[in-house]
């Protein structure tokens, strides 16, 4: 009885790639959510690139609601994809689900 190193390598590689995928998609979702907040006028981007709370004089462009809804939909889609990947991983690990 020995260790199947090829199978071990495949499992380790899939675990690392899937973990990186979940982290990357979640961070993209957070970026979309933040962009929607900025577009909606909740935050302002200052001249030095930092983000602060919106001031009273912040211009809220007309018609920005469609862009905000689109960005929020993209963010929620990213979060749903992350949840689906995590649930699929749990499904693969727990033998009672098969």
Distance CA 67, CA 19 (A): 30
Query: How does pLDDT run across 9-60, given as a tens digit for each residue?
Result: 999 999 999 999 999 999 999 999 988 888 877 776 777 877 777 665 555 5
Query: How does pLDDT run across 75-89, given as a tens digit for each residue?
Result: 999 999 999 999 999
The predicted pLDDT at position 55 comes to 62
Beta carbons within 8 Å of 89's beta carbon, 6+ residues apart: 18
Residue 55 carries which DSSP code?
A: P
Query: Would the CA dihedral through 51, 57, 62, 66 be positive or negative?
Result: positive
Residue among 76, 62, 71 at smallest CA distance from 36:
71
Tokens of 36: 């929607």
């Amino acid at each position: 009885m020995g260790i199947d190193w090829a199978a071990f390598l495949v499992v380790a590689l899939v675990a690392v790639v899937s973990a990186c995928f979940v982290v990357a998609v979640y961070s993209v979702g957070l970026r979309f959510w933040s962009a929607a907040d900025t577009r909606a006028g909740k935050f302002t981007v200052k001249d030095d690139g930092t983000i602060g709370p919106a001031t009273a004089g912040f211009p809220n462009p007309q018609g920005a609601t469609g862009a905000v809804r689109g960005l929020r939909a993209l963010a929620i889609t990213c979060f749903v994809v992350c949840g689906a990947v995590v649930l699929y991983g749990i499904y693969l690990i727990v033998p009672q689900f098969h």
